Amino acid sequence: MAGFLFEQIIFGPIRSRRLGVSLGINLLPPNLKHCSFNCLYCECGWTSPPDKCHDFPARNLIKAELENKLSEIQKRNSMLDNITFAGNGEPTLHPEFAGIIDDTVELRNKYIPSCKISVLCNSTMAGETDIFNALLKVDKNIMKLDAGTDETFQKINNPKIKISISEVIESLKKFDGNLIIQTLFVKGNYKGVLIDNTTEAEVDAWLNLLKQIKPRSVMIYPIARETPAENLEKVSHEKLFEIAQKVEALGFEAEVYS
């Protein structure tokens, strides 16, 4: 399965199940997934080898294309809820990510000040000072946390860099609650290894991590498209709702997107 990849820097607006009417920004090479994870469920497919991932779009080109699109949306008086950094992998891997966030805030304020800026981030780069400071400037830092234990973290997210879940948690705690956690729940079997972050033990461990992070809210969702790994199951809405209730019992807002 090749995966769904974006050919453009700016895409949409599209209607997102989590973010409303959203204009996407892809900071990664076109038609190539570049990420610090190699998640079994990723709709973009498997992560490309590092030696193929050097053709990042230039900062000035990103700014020019975004300005053209926002100007067009403003002239049409069209609805736009979010400018969302997503695309073909992990956006914070762009070497000029921090400057691009500054450009985006400037253009948002100029053309559509009511619009939010969101970053879908896998949390691996959040400990870098420039990345951390840039993420604090956006409205919605949507940070991935798909597991409660390191064993399950390594199985599901399959990091391409050496990192543990404890390192991720230490980075997320530095946001002092100014972040949103996104978690995809999944079950299945990959190469003979059981994959399941919905067990009672795993969910309890994940809830304990939420208590340390203290997020503004938690987004809970299942797989929605074909996955690169076979034999993965979509978790039921009932199970996701049950998990969401446990999150709310801790005092955190939870939304299920299924």
Interval 223-233: pLDDT, tens: 988 888 888 99
Beta-carbon contacts of residue 60 (< 8 Å; ≥ 6 apart): none
Q: Coil, strand or helix: which one is 103?
A: helix
Which amino acid appears at position 155 of this protein?
K
Q: What is the DSSP letter of 92?
A: G
List the 193-196 sheet strands across, edge first. Answer: 193-196, 186-190, 232-234
Q: What is the pLDDT of residue 53?
A: 62
Give the model confidence (pLDDT) of 195-235 as tens digits.
999 999 999 999 999 999 999 999 999 998 888 888 899 99
Token digits of residue 112: 């559509």
Prediction pTM value: 0.93
Overall average pLDDT of the 94-100 stretch? 97
Q: What is the pLDDT of residue 16?
A: 83
CA neighbor of 254 nearest in space, from 169, 152, 183, 149: 183
Overall average pLDDT of the 240-252 stretch? 98
Strand partners, 195: 188
Neighbours of 157 (CB within 10 A): 27
Give residue 1's pLDDT band: very low, low, confident or very high (50, 70, 90). Answer: very low
Token digits of residue 111: 């053309």
Q: What is the DSSP letter of 51?
A: G
Give the model confidence (pLDDT) of 109-164 as tens digits.
999 999 999 999 999 999 999 999 999 999 999 999 999 999 999 999 999 999 99
Token digits of residue 63: 């700014």
First to last CA, the chain: 22
Give the model confidence (pLDDT) of 27-68 as tens digits.
998 878 889 999 999 988 888 776 566 689 999 999 999 999
Read out DSSP for 174-231? TTTT-SEEEEE-EEEEETTEEEES-SHHHHHHHHHHHHHH--SEEEEE---S--SSSS
Contact 172, 142 (CB under 8 A): no
CATH class of residue range 10-256: alpha beta
Token digits of residue 155: 């199985």
